[in-house]
Amino acid sequence: MLGKLMSLDLKSYRAQLKLVTPIYFLLIASAFVLKSLRIPLLGDFAHGLGFLATLLLIPAALAMGLIHYYRHFYTNQGYLTHTLPVTPQARYHAKLYSGFILFAVATVYALIGGFVLLLANGVADPIGSLYVRETLYDIANWPKVLSMHPVVGWLLLFLTWLLIYLYAYAAYSVSISVGMGKRLSRFALGGPVLAYIGYYVVNQVVGLAAFLFVPLSLRISLVSNQLVFRFVTTMPYEQLKTLSVFEDSHTVEDAITQVGGYFDFGFGLVIFLLLMMVASYFITNYQLKRINLR
């Protein structure tokens, strides 16, 4: 049944993608052509527009997921969604996975678009292919800038990408479901807004406290010009209260030297965010079991 629900969600996304995809790639193609032809003002404008559209792709995919979640569960379409013979958990998971597929598609689009925009810059640049090769080399070797092993760097980037989606889904699903629940639904769309404000405040206050005062930190220190990561049972607040003036530094190494040779990143924040996601899962599922359609 999960597959059928996902297929229902994906049909709805496909209808939207049919509109967004040609517009986006038309923008990118125009940027490529106009920039390559070195048309002074128009080329830069089209390139800038293409860049902006690429930056907005992932937030737009998340917004599409959010709107779809709301429409499928809490507008007229909810009368179909909630009377299908499936469990509330299946409905929740179908939205989670289908939204992730949309998020992944947006990422692929952004990568393709970014590459085309880079190529356009390369064609427009007098040293052309060298510029493209160097930029691609820099991108591929970004972990070295942070003195990290490439595999670790790329794995961290992938995990961050995954967490961005999971965290966004947890935030909007719990805000909408609590906001459209029995207590807050009388405020119509204000319900999810109020629920999100509550979620945001809890995140900021408890998240900051977890970051500063939980005695578990990821200590990033500099040993023989290499960044070394290890867990220590120290509160980051212990280090922060000893700091006086922090000056601008150009490299990570400089910054770490300035703060005494190591930097403690409060791992309590990561644990808190993971706990928030788990809590959101249970709260949202509870709300979906006790649906109240307007």
Partner 1 sequence: MVNVTNLTRRYHTRRGIENINLVLNEGEIIGLLGPNGCGKTTLIKLIMGLLQPDEGEIRIGAFHPNEAYSMVSYLPEQTYLGVWMTMDEAFSIFSSFYQDFNRQKAEQMLADFRLELKQPLKTMSKGMQEKAHLTLVMSRDVPFYILDEPMSGIDPASRESILEGILRNYNPGSTLLISTHLVSDVEMLFDRVIFMDEGTIRLDRQVEELRSEEGKSVDGYFRQFFGSLKGESYVR
Kindly list the residues in this chain that would bind partner 1 in the complex (CB under 8 A): 1, 4, 7-8, 11-12, 15, 76-80, 82-86, 88, 182, 186, 289-293
Nearer to partner 1, 35 or 72 (CB): 72
Does the CA dihedral 46-52-55-58 come out positive or negative?
A: negative
Least distance in Å: CB of 53 to partner 1?
24
CB of 192 to partner 1, least distance (A): 17
Distance in Å, CB of 75 to partner 1, minimum: 9
d(CA 23, CA 25): 6
CA atoms of 48 and 207, how far apart (whole Å): 36
Q: Measured from the CB atom, is 77 or 258 closer to partner 1? A: 77
From the CB of 199, what's the least distance to partner 1, in Å?
Answer: 22
Q: How far is the CB of 82 from partner 1 (least distance, A)?
A: 6
CB of 72 to partner 1, least distance (A): 9
Q: What separation, in Å, do the N-terminal and C-terminal C-alpha atoms of the chain show?
A: 26
- 158 vs 286, which CB is nearer to partner 1? 286
Q: Are 262 and 221 in contact (CB under 8 A)?
A: yes
CA distance 104 to 112: 12
Q: What CA–CA distance (Å, rounded) separates 42 from 63?
A: 30
State which H helix or E strand residue 223 sits in. Answer: strand 217-223
Closer to partner 1 at the Cβ: 18 or 250? 18
CA–CA dist 2, 8 (Å, integer): 10
Residue closer to partner 1, measured from CB, 12 or 258: 12
The per-residue b/e assignment along 62-71, b for 16 or more CB within 10 angstroms, e otherwise, is: bebbbebbbe
Closer to partner 1 by CB, 38 or 289: give it.
289
Q: Looking at residue 141, what DSSP letter applies?
A: T
| Minimum CB distance to partner 1 smaller for 23 or for 80 | 80
Residue with tokens 């969600």: 9
One-letter amino acid of 17: L
Residue 186 beta carbon to partner 1: minimum distance, rounded to whole angstroms: 5
Separation CA 227–CA 147 (nearest Å): 6
Number of H helices and E strands in the chain, helices first, is 11, 3
